[in-house]
Amino acid sequence: MDPSFKRRAFFVCLALVAGLSALSVRLISLHVWKPKLSNTSAVPRFKIRQIIPARSGNIVDRNNTVIAQNRPEATLVADLNHLNTVAILHRAVAHRYASQVAGWKELNKAEKSVLLKKTYQQIKKNLSEEQIIAEHMEYATEVIGRELRMPFSQISEKLNRGSTRVVLKTRIREDDARNIENELEKRRIQGFSFERSQRRDYPMPNFAPHLIGFRNHEGIGLSGLEKSMYHILIGRDGERVLKQDANGRVHLTQAAKVTPPKMGKHVRITLDMGIQAIVEDELEMAFEAYNAKKGSIIIVDPHTGDILAMASRPHFNLRDRKDYSKAGTSFAVSAQYEAGSVMKIVAMAAALESGGVNRETVVNCGWGSIFRHGFQIRDHHSYGELTFEGVLVKSSNTGVFQFAERVGRAGFYQYLYDFGFGRRTGFPIPGEAKGRVQDPTNMRNFASATYGYGVSVSPLQLAMAYSVLANGGTLLKPRLVDSIIANNGTILDHTPVQKVRRVLSERTSREMCLALEQVVLKGTGRRARIPGYRSGGKTGTSEKWNNEEMRYDPDKKFLTFAGIVPIQAPRFVCIVTIDEPSGLGEDFQVGGGTIAAPVFSQVSRRVAQYMNLTPTEEIPEEETSIAFIPSE
């Protein structure tokens, strides 16, 4: 035989013998010297992986006041399979007995360890499996009941319902959960664990609920910013793998592996919750006084498009949401209605901008009506000749139409669109109304549109249109989201001021503001005056269309006041809309000037004070402004 072959065969056999010998030693070690480790069937393996839920980012206002935030909480769960596995329960029972020995608390760690070992041996020898299970259950019930302030009988009742997974209590505060975990770990109690979660909380649940929105029980955004900004706010869950020893005991406070969660980003919005509180308060009082059906108040910074406050009725509570289905969408954003005379600014501004017209230009408004294109245009009263400014002060339909005629039908509708009507603003809240413009080729529609009929608008569109006058002639996109912020405070993204288009010159805007001031000083908006501050604006009273009777209903009205404060150096635009007030008595004259204008005055006075605006007018000792709560 070849000698080289003999050598190779010898080494192969030697390697086999060595490998088999090592394997034999390992088997002997497992079965003889460490039998406990080899008997894997006797070592219970329980669920030791826990989700660490990510904390979503906060929604905060422009001053970093928290509007929406996550609160960590836990659910205490019992695993009955775990609780009935005798092999892992002895040490807890031993602790129960040992801790009852006189002087236990005075023992040091080593002395306690010796006593526990001795007690452990005794209970293994003297107690049956059924007794071990019962003793452990009773001990766990006592500890958990004391920590949660729950009756022992209530815990026992839940544990005896037969399910393998029993929920003992939900919505436990995180610090309480940690205390209970420490107590269970210290006493070696098994079979209980906490499932962590994050509950979305709203510190001011009645403020701007339509804008903020809410999440479902799974934490998914369903409405408002919680829906539109969900991908920004949401974080990424982590995981904790609990440590389990050779006996199968799970250590609640010790982790073998941790994958930390990633927190979501914060969203700062343009609302000022101080101003929001004012508009919510005033709108609520107005609704109680006038028994209105719907309505809204909007405060906007005309120079940036920032929505400083926006309240709608009906509304709901973000915490219980029991009125959510009745509240529907935000009236301020989703409503489409014919706003009436507040729309007259389009025709009047267009006439000024087109040239050949100034604030002293005179038109003949007729004696209650004029005829054009084969139909009659009616007025509230017989006005005769009125100046440009007088037309706005008296809110003359016939006068506004004559100024619109100078611009022309095509020109008027172009300005209407340029002011932002008939198009969505791009507001980041689901359900924004587009508005509707009836057939612009029809001359009757043209006439009606000049004084606010045949054109459906939203309160938000009105706010941005009046901002054009207040900021020098530029249409801006409304801003609600200001910035995205990392957990360490770094600004990751900022929403810039977005100019949509220039609509008017600065001269025309200034002239319009001065004309609107006259409406407040001596026209239909006298009840909108603000003691100490110059203001300007326009009233609007429009009848609601009745589809069944195919006519406008004089008993159902939309009331609006759109105003600018202070008029000489605008800081904010305020839009008040009240839908269908009722129960005011036959003698009460329902109109934008009698209802919406006083609400505007109350709101604007408080907002001006909140913003520390310096009064420019003398404030009478007794304010002469008419209270908005109607008298009998």
Q: Which token pair is 21? A: 């010998």
Domain that holds residue 600: 273-610
pLDDT above 60 for 40: no
Assess whether 345 and 371 both reside in one domain.
yes
Residue 47 has pLDDT above 90, yes or no: no
Q: pLDDT tens for residues 429-478? A: 888 999 999 998 999 999 999 999 999 999 999 999 999 999 999 999 99
User: Do 253 and 293 belong to one domain?
Assistant: no
Q: How many CA atoms lie less than 13 Å away from 469 in the CB half-sphere? A: 34
% of the chain exceeding 90 in pLDDT = 60
Span of 36-45, 111-120, 320-329 with lowest mean pLDDT: 36-45
Of 450, 14, 429, residue with least CA distance to 227: 429
Q: What is the pLDDT at residue 448?
A: 93
- 251 and 291 in a single domain? The answer is no
DSSP state of 427: -
pLDDT at 11: 57
Q: Is the pLDDT of residue 630 over 70?
A: no
Residue 412 sits in a domain of what CATH number? 3.40.710.10
CB atoms within 10 A of CB 1: 6
Same-domain check for residues 518 and 390: yes
The residue-averaged pLDDT of 388-411 equals 94
Asked if the structure places residue 512 within a domain, the reply is yes
User: Are both 104 and 228 inside the same structural domain?
Assistant: yes
Structural domain includes residue 489: yes
CATH at residue 189: 3.90.1310.10
Q: Are residues 286 and 344 in the same domain?
A: yes
Biggest CA-to-CA distance, the chain: 136
What per-residue confidence (pLDDT) applies to 2? 62
Alpha helices in 409-493 (DSSP H): 409-418, 443-450, 459-470
What is the C-alpha to C-alpha distance for residues 473 and 503, in angstroms, rounded to an integer? Answer: 5
The CA-atom distances, in angstroms, between 317 and each of 58, 224, 275 are 18, 13, 19
Domain boundary among the residues 248, 269, 290 is at: 269
Is residue 584 predicted with pLDDT exceeding 70?
yes
pLDDT at 625: 42
CA distance 271 to 207: 10
- Phi and psi of 233, rounded to 5°? -75, -35
Say how many C-beta atoms besides its own lie within 10 A of residue 523's C-beta: 22
* Mean pLDDT computed over 514-534: 95
Predicted confidence at residue 307, as pLDDT, reads: 98
Region 57-67: mean pLDDT is: 96
Check residue 570 and give its pLDDT: 96
Q: Which residue's structure tokens are 């729950």?
A: 150
pLDDT of residue 237: 86
Q: In this structure, is residue 15 part of a structural domain?
A: no
pLDDT at 528: 95
The answer, yes or no, to whether residue 337 has pLDDT greater than 80, is yes
Contacts with 359 (C-beta within 8 Å, 6 or more apart), sequence order = 352, 387, 388, 389, 511, 514, 515
Within a domain: 29: no
Q: What is the pTM of this model?
A: 0.84
Instruction: State the pLDDT at residue 242.
Output: 78
Asked if 379 and 451 sit in the same domain, the reply is: yes
Tell me, yes or no, whether 450 and 305 share the same domain.
yes
In DSSP terms, which residues pair with 378 in a beta bridge?
A: 369
Radius of gyration of the chain (CA): 37
More confident residue, 509 or 547: 509
Of all helices (H) and strands (E), which one includes residue 18? helix 3-28
- Residue where one domain finishes, among candidates 269, 298, 323: 269
pLDDT, tens only, 366-386: 888 888 877 889 888 888 999
Domain boundary among 230, 251, 269: 269
* Position 138 pLDDT exceeds 80: yes
pLDDT at 34 over 50: no
Dump pLDDT digits (tens) for 264-295: 999 999 999 999 999 999 999 999 999 999 99
Confidence of residue 397 (pLDDT cuts 50, 70, 90): very high
Please give the backbone phi and psi of residue 98, each rounded to the nearest 5 degrees, phi first. Answer: -65, -40
Q: Are residues 170 and 280 in the same domain?
A: no
Averaged over 567-587, what is the pLDDT? 91
Q: What is the pLDDT of residues 226-248, one digit of tens each?
A: 999 999 999 898 888 877 776 66
pLDDT at 434: 93
pLDDT above 70: residue 342: yes
| Number of domains composing the chain | 2
- Provide the pLDDT for residue 286: 94
Average pLDDT score, the chain: 88
Any domain includes 510: yes
Question: Do 349 and 258 belong together in one domain?
Answer: no
pLDDT of residue 501: 97
pLDDT of residue 484 exceeding 70? yes
CB 362 within 8 A of CB 385: yes
Q: Are residues 364 and 229 in the same domain?
A: no
Are β-strands 59-60 and 362-364 bridged in parallel, bridged antiparallel, or unpaired?
unpaired
172 has which bridge partners? 74
Does residue 36 form part of some domain? no
> Among the ranges 480-489, 541-550, 623-632, which has the highest mean pLDDT value?
480-489
Tell whether 409 and 538 lie within a shared domain.
yes
Does 66 have pLDDT greater than 90? Answer: yes
- Does residue 88 form part of some domain? yes
* 630 found inside a domain: no
